[in-house]
Structure 1
Amino acid sequence: MGQKVILLADDDSDDREMFHEALELVDNNISCYSTLNGSELLEKIHTLEKAPNLIFLDMNMPVMNGWQCLEILKRDERYRDIPVIIISTSSHQKDMETSIQLGAVCYLVKPNDFRDLIEVLKVFTENLCTGIKNAIANLQLSNPKIIFT
């Protein structure tokens, strides 16, 4: 399939750094581009040579939050089929349900443990091209406290 691309929008620099470190340990052949909010992600996606394989959107960001960005992505025929994962520190059921209703493939409560983040990213990246929805469903069964589908 060639080079895999992931986009991440998260306003927290520590979370972005941890995400990149974990992703590099999981698969250093994936290009990951980060932005500080949904608006920047929408600008960045237009500059890429190919559409990303997966998008992670923090729910709470300034300028444009993850839900607002998700709504725009899902209305655009160029990007509506890209799997989007909403990430947040919130574990409120309503936030999870809203994310899924807006078109996210799942809602990920940001893991506090670096090893947990590595394991989650490993599942996502290993299944980018072969069925991420099934992999997410299996992950949700094994770790229902951080994955909601």
Structure 2
Amino acid sequence: MEGKMILLADDDTDDAEMFCEALAEIDESIVCHCSENGSGVLNMLKDQEKTPKVVFLDLNMPVMNGWECLKQLKQEERYKDIPVIMISTSSHKNDMDTAANLGAVCYFVKPNTFKDLKQALGLITSNLENGLKETLPNLEKNKYLHVFL
């Protein structure tokens, strides 16, 4: 039986590897499935019997970017309640506003260090069993996380 499943779409393989490595160090029961684009995430969801605890979507990817994937996730009855966190190196307010308007629960600016990434992901994953939405107010303590309540 698989542990807590998380999906990540990021076309930067180094970032994706670091992300999954940080999650593995935080909690061995977390299983991170990665895709290079939003289309891959949608295909993974179709193949999974289990619903992921959270989906992380990078904004800019080839084939299907994070915005388009988020729109499709929120339009499908089966996936609309899965918490989605948008990730990017950009901290532009317009991007954050768009993420909130499209239904993301949080906007995550990619940290520059593994330590900062691990700390932010630790906050996000600390209460996955009870549902991410209960944890959201606590996430604002981290400078990389912008929560939409």
Whether the TM-score (by the shorter chain) exceeds 0.5 is yes
Q: Do the aligned residues in 1 keep the contact of 2:124 with 2:139 (CA within 8 Å)?
A: no
**Counterpart-to-counterpart distance in 1, 2:5 and 2:122:** 14
Counterpart residue number, 1:30: 30
2:65 corresponds to 1:65:
yes
Structure 1 portions without partners, runs of 5+: none
**Deviations 1:43-65, CA, capped at 9 Å, x for gaps:** 11111121111100001111111
Range with bigger deviation, 15-24 or 44-53: 44-53
TM-score (norm 1): 0.93
Q: Do the aligned residues in 1 keep the contact of 2:56 with 2:87 (CA within 8 Å)?
A: yes
Letter matched to residue 147 of structure 1:
L
Structure 2 portions without partners, runs of 5+: none
**Deviations 1:53-90, CA, capped at 9 Å, x for gaps:** 11000011111110100000001111110100000000
Shift of 1:103: 0.3
**Counterpart-to-counterpart distance in 2, 1:54 and 1:34:** 12
The match for 2:145 among 135, 144, 147 is 147
**Counterpart-to-counterpart distance in 1, 2:134 and 2:97:** 19
Query: Paired residues, what number?
Result: 146
**Counterpart-to-counterpart distance in 1, 2:102 and 2:77:** 15
**Counterpart-to-counterpart distance in 1, 2:76 and 2:5:** 19
**RMSD (Å), alpha carbons:** 1.2
Shift of 1:131: 4.1
2:15 corresponds to 1:51:
no
Percent pairwise identity: 55
Q: What stretches of structure 1 move > 4 A for 4+ residues in a row?
A: none
Q: Do the aligned residues in 1 keep the contact of 2:53 with 2:83 (CA within 8 Å)?
A: yes
**Deviations 1:101-148, CA, capped at 9 Å, x for gaps:** 1000000000111111111111211211224234232221x22x3211
